[in-house]
Amino acid sequence: MRVFLTGATGFIGSYLVPELISAGHHVVGLSRSDAGAEALTGAGAEVFRGDVNDLGRLRSAAETADAVIHAAFNHDFSNLKQHSEADGKVIKALGDVLAGSDRPLVVTSGTGLARSRTGSPAVETDDHVTSAEFPRAASEEAADALIASGGNVMVIRLPQVHDTRRFGRITQHIKLAQQQGRVVYVGEGRNRLPAVHVSDAVHLYRLAIEKGQAGARYHAVGEEGVALCDIAEVIGAGMKVPVESITPQEASDYFGPLANLVTIDLAASSALTRQQLGWDPHGPDLLTDLRNLDYTLDRSTS
Ligand SMILES: NC(=O)c1ccc[n+]([C@@H]2O[C@H](COP(=O)([O-])OP(=O)(O)OC[C@H]3O[C@@H](n4cnc5c(N)ncnc54)[C@H](OP(=O)(O)O)[C@@H]3O)[C@@H](O)[C@H]2O)c1
């Protein structure tokens, strides 16, 4: 298949490009920079130059594709609402080009947006929160609209995606620990974050374009939930700093804007995804990758 990939130069894209090429697909990767274009060429992809928000150019790239994977996102969280609304427009533009065909569009969301109905791990069939509650849900809402009009659109919800350098939100915990000289968790720290090794996550994207079902939500979850206290212990050992429990009242002093997230249990299941696509994640687990992180690198100012 000729696959148009946005976000091809990002963390996930850098693993997804070789995953698709080694399976025999032709990848056309979006890049807005010379450095990105060079990396894509080196990885064996065709480069399509442009900004993801230039919807005219985006449409022209999608027109010639057999499948589209959308993994670009601007992670400047000070403007999350604006970037999320822009992402909704990108998804609509891509979906409109593919409408009326069976060419798949796979869009990216997060497991944290699923609203668990029972208090047990979030499942693929759970509704998502609304963009009024959390702006990032604009991407799920744009996908909903395309699915309702018959598009071959799927959503992949990602948990904390990791290798030994990148850890999703946990990277912020490491940065805070470097700034403050200690690692903390709230209360007993038994609340959990789901996780997946990046190599497993990108394999799921490939399965989705090859045999996914229109309208499906897939959870790229390798581990349903890793307790925050266990994550803190590994970071503390790696950095050789104290690990402490704090009260919910103390959380905002330490965590700042992250404080309202660090007490929530975000466990998520991928049982349906595994069953429907035969996906079988087996990459290193989160704590193993965290133990292999280079803690001498200073992340406190990044
Ligand atoms: N990593 C995780 O743990 C995680 C967890 C949940 C959800 N997700 C979602 O998964 C997707 C991929 O994440 P990631 O970790 O790979 O993110 P990333 O490393 O920050 O990469 C973002 C990608 O988007 C591109 N991009 C951003 N703004 C653009 C623009 N205006 N025009 C063209 N390209 C633009 C970037 O291009 P440049 O290289 O030019 O900057 C880069 O390729 C995102 O939707 C993210 O929200 C990730």
- Residue 301's pLDDT is 64
Indicate if ligand 1 lies below 6 Å from the C-beta of 268: no
Indicate if ligand 1 lies below 6 Å from the C-beta of 194: no
Q: Which domains, ranges and CATH numbers included, belong to the chain?
A: 2-160+195-221 (3.40.50.720)
Share of the chain above pLDDT 70, in %: 99
Indicate if ligand 1 lies below 6 Å from the C-beta of 112: no
Indicate if ligand 1 lies below 6 Å from the C-beta of 30: yes
- Residue 302's pLDDT is 64
In tens, the pLDDT along 112-165 reads: 999 987 779 999 999 999 999 999 999 999 999 999 999 999 999 999 999 999
Tokens of 166: 């990148």
Pocket test for ligand 1, best of 105, 139, 158, 289 (most atoms within 8 A of CB): 158
Mean pLDDT, residues 171-181: 94
Mean pLDDT, residues 72-91: 94
Check if the beta carbon of residue 31 is closer than 8 Å to that of residue 48.
yes
pLDDT surpasses 80 at 10: yes
The CA 118 to ligand 1 mean position distance, Å, reads 31
Q: In what order do the strands lie in the sheet with 105-110?
A: 46-49, 26-31, 2-6, 67-70, 105-110, 153-158, 217-219
- Residue 257's pLDDT is 84
The alpha carbon of residue 186 and the mean position of all alpha carbons in its chain are separated, in whole angstroms, by: 25
In tens, the pLDDT along 29-81 reads: 999 999 999 999 999 999 999 999 999 999 999 999 999 999 999 998 889 99
In tens, the pLDDT along 271-301 reads: 999 999 999 999 999 999 999 999 988 776 6
Side-chain half-sphere of 219: how many Cα atoms within 13 Å?
30
Pocket test for ligand 1, best of 6, 12, 139 (most atoms within 8 A of CB): 12
